[in-house]
Structure 1
Amino acid sequence: MTEPTQPPKPSRRALGPGGPQVSAIGYGAMGLSGVYGAADDAESLRLLHRLLDLGVDFVDTADAYGDGHNERLIAGLLAERRQEVFLATKFGATADSGLGRPENVRRSIDASLGRLGTDHVDLYYLHRLDPDTPIEETVGAMAELVQAGKVRHLGLSEISARTLRRAHAVHPIAAVQQEYSLFTREPEAELLPAMRELGVALVAYSPLGRGVLTGAFREVSDVENLQVRQQRYPRFAEESLRHNIALVQPLRERAEELGLTSAQLALAWLLAQGDDIVPIPGSRRIGNVEANIVAATTQLDRRVVDELSQLFPADVAAGERYHPDGMARLDR
């Protein structure tokens, strides 16, 4: 009896010059906590184990995902295979005042470590900038966690180039997590050049446009849990969603010509933007995860990369990334 074909293991990339090595494609675990539809914990754990078997070791979570559920779920993986996982988590996601204060930094890491059942986190992000606390104070407290051995590397999420420079002056920042895809090219203007100047990696979340770039949605009615998505993301408002679905048609056609899926081509384009970029797509389906890994072993011709860049210029997608309250939390 022949064994099932295994996709080739993804290559590895460094989070900054001389920084830690991680799989070129990571995994964003938010969807395992019911954000986009029901998820079964036992099946989710099987998926997480499968990730490691396939060579994907970079697992991303946050204390806000499922109000701690996501971290508790991942604890089941860590209990058996902690040494195989490069673990990233985040704190400070909500709009509550003072979440960037040193006392909350210390409180948050201890709570996350308790839920995760581990003594350290490999990469610890500030999820959203606290406008009431200078970034120097927040990063200073995060640096103390490195000294205490609770955290190995520091990260920030959704921050401006100016804030990154201020933070990096306090303690080296290994990575910035930012939305980046064919639909969202905002980082290219100011943030990515600053990151490259400082030697900071970009971890790209929502690299598939929250599912639209996969080409799986041909009609608005194809979108699972549409009302929940519409409550969070204006790009899923009906008129905007129709526009965005239509944008994917040439991507789908080009992918078919190359023997790829739309998702694989979108991820391969992102990886081609630089070896300092690590996308973290998420899916609740093992088959999708296996297919995504192929992108990390796909070398696109430069003409294809340029063609896609022209097809998807900045601001091509209809609708803001978040509703006004969410946009207000972004440090732009």
Structure 2
Amino acid sequence: MNALDIRGLHLSLPGTARPVLAGVDLTVATGETVALVGESGSGKTLTSRSVLRLLPKGATTRGSVLVEGEDVLAMTPAALRQLRTHTAAMIFQDPRAAINPLRRVGDFLTESLRLNAGTDAAEAERRATVMLEAVGLTTAVLRQYPGQLSGGMLQRVMIAAALTGDPTLILADEPTTALDVTTQAEVVALLGDLRRRFGTGLLFVTHDLGLAAAISDRVYVMYAGRIAETGPAGTLFHRPHHPYTAALLDSTPRLDAPRGRLAAIDGQPPSLREALTGCPFAPRCRYATAVCAEEPPERLPVAGDPGHRVACHHSALVAGGAPDE
């Protein structure tokens, strides 16, 4: 059984002309790290938040979000509370916005255990101490306020908080965005180490393809609320089959890249106020033909590449590296 199994997830919001998420399929196996990448506004954060049913007001959904085989979208409030306390946990993007600055770190770490899990204060503090040590912090942090800690230390506190309930799934929503490069590397290494030690499934949401390549076993590339391409990290980054994936890789800074201006993706992502027909990436794609504007592509397996699937009418051409003449 997978730690997470999202099947055909559609999510719509009031006032939009198209679904924010349109048929998302995504799995995370126990002990596996999966990266979800794409531009801002592609639907990455809403996909991760749907796993805990942290949805915007007025949102309507269809499809299923299974955590350890249980559908989150159909859970009762009591079952949902149990899920958020023990089964799945989220590491938010900005730890300073997620932790109350007026309360000590120890209160933040033990509150969920004491109030939702019924753990007594002494056991909750012992558990918090164990998790702090696991992320490389000392017990002195329990008595400190968030303002006394650096950004990297606060993100470690967030990771410790996520681990206190022994979750089988951790959702990391761009957890390194607010950190400097050195601290980013430390947090990424820490997440990888904790995943191996505790056997926790990890969904790592990011717009940074370098981070995705460093930490993930598999990658999902999202565009306009749809999965454009998915596959093993090494395979997908070495030979992408979707023009959006290829364009993202081309626009990533590399030490071995040719001198000159960094490549950019022309145009803008589609607005939620506009209905989509055909492939959503077609207006920005150099491979697009008439069929791309008329028919949405199915996500099909890539021949000879197990686990690699792509939604593109011209995927073989993209992998070959040259547009139609």
Taking structure 1 as the reference length, what is the TM-score of the superposition? 0.36
More strand by percentage: 2
Higher-Rg member (1/2): 2
